[in-house]
Amino acid sequence: MVVHWPHRSNPSDARQSEKAAAREFPDAGFAATLAKGLAVLEAFEIGSTWLGNTELAACTGLTRPTVARLSHTLAELGYLRYDATKSKYRLGVRCARMTYPLLAALEFRQTARPLMQELATGLGGIVSIGLLDADSCVYVESARSGDVGPHVPDVGRSVPIVRTAIGRVLASMLRPEEAVALDERMKREAPDDWAAFGEQYLAGRQECATQGMAISYGDWVSTVHAVATPLFRARETGDCFAINCGVPAFRLRPGQIESEVGPRLKALAASIRQLAGEAQPVPGASAGSGRLVEHA
């Protein structure tokens, strides 16, 4: 369960939002205060380095007094850092510490990194591994050539499923009931993106099922064309991993993303799977089948 506190512009709306959220999760085991604290942390996105309590309240839909208590507590614990001259908070170092156990457990990243770097350098682009997280893809590894322009994905960056090649590939790895639930969630929570990119998303998911890869022609970053292919669905956790390669459009010859970049990325994915000892997606599986086959 992932909680998204809706944006509200005034205290009365915020109080209604909190009450509505409490009714939405009647489970006595659900810690609403913890969920609110995590919502405060998640409000710090790219371009929002420093935020005050008023801004945090607007981002989360929580009342300002609630936010003030949460931000103070998070700062005392080291998850936020307070600057008295700005009267604002930024994320604390302890947040970065929390990501290490997760990344360290993904041991295949270390073996994949030099192979990813070789492809990124050879194509003049960026190669990244992403992990499915609700309706987003979170990058867990990335390699890039020396000059790729302003679009530089990094570890921890989140991108939307519906607008990206890697997102469409991750969706194709889901079981049918999981794919249906994901589609409904995106229609509900990102209706504008769904209206603009839903058709490309569904086509990309089917493309991955039949050709083993999906392509985006600037759907996320207009100056970058990207291709993605499945890595594996982890045996122990069920987590879905995929890999993509983005190249500035001006560096690509007509048809190169389909005829060269895609096949090379698929070969790289096969090498990483073998090194990781993970299962391989069945070629030509129907969209959302989730079928896997073990390496011999």
Q: pLDDT tens digit string along 64-108? A: 999 999 999 999 999 999 999 999 999 999 988 888 888 888 999
Instruction: Give the per-residue pLDDT at 119.
Output: 96
Three-state SS annotation for 234-257: CCCCCCEEEEEEEEEHHHCCCCHH
Q: Tokens 């995929």 label which residue?
A: 242
Average pLDDT over residues 247-267: 95
pTM of the entire predicted model: 0.80
H/E stretch holding 214 = strand 214-217
Fold of the domain spanning 106-293: Beta-Lactamase (3.30.450)
* Rama region for 46: left / alpha / beta (φ>0; ψ in -120 to 50; rest): beta
| Neighbouring C-alpha atoms within 13 Å toward the C-beta of 187 | 9
- Rounded CA-CA distance 27/32 in Å is 10
Angle between helices 64-77 and 11-24 (to 10 degrees): 70
CATH number of the 11-96 domain:
1.10.10.10
Residue 49 CB neighbour total at 10 angstroms: 11
Residue 189 CB neighbour total at 10 angstroms: 14
Domain map (residue ranges) of the chain: 11-96, 106-293
Distances (CA, A) of 222 to 102, 153, 177, 192, 194: 32, 15, 32, 17, 17
Q: Which two tokens stand for residue 149?
A: 């322009």
Q: Mark out the alpha helices in 31-175 (DSSP H runs).
A: 32-42, 53-60, 64-77, 93-105, 108-123, 165-172
- Read off φ and ψ for residue 221, nearest 5 degrees: -120, 120
Is pLDDT above 70 for 26? no
pLDDT band at 146 (very low <50, low <70, confident <90, very high): confident
Instruction: Give the per-residue pLDDT at 177.
Output: 94
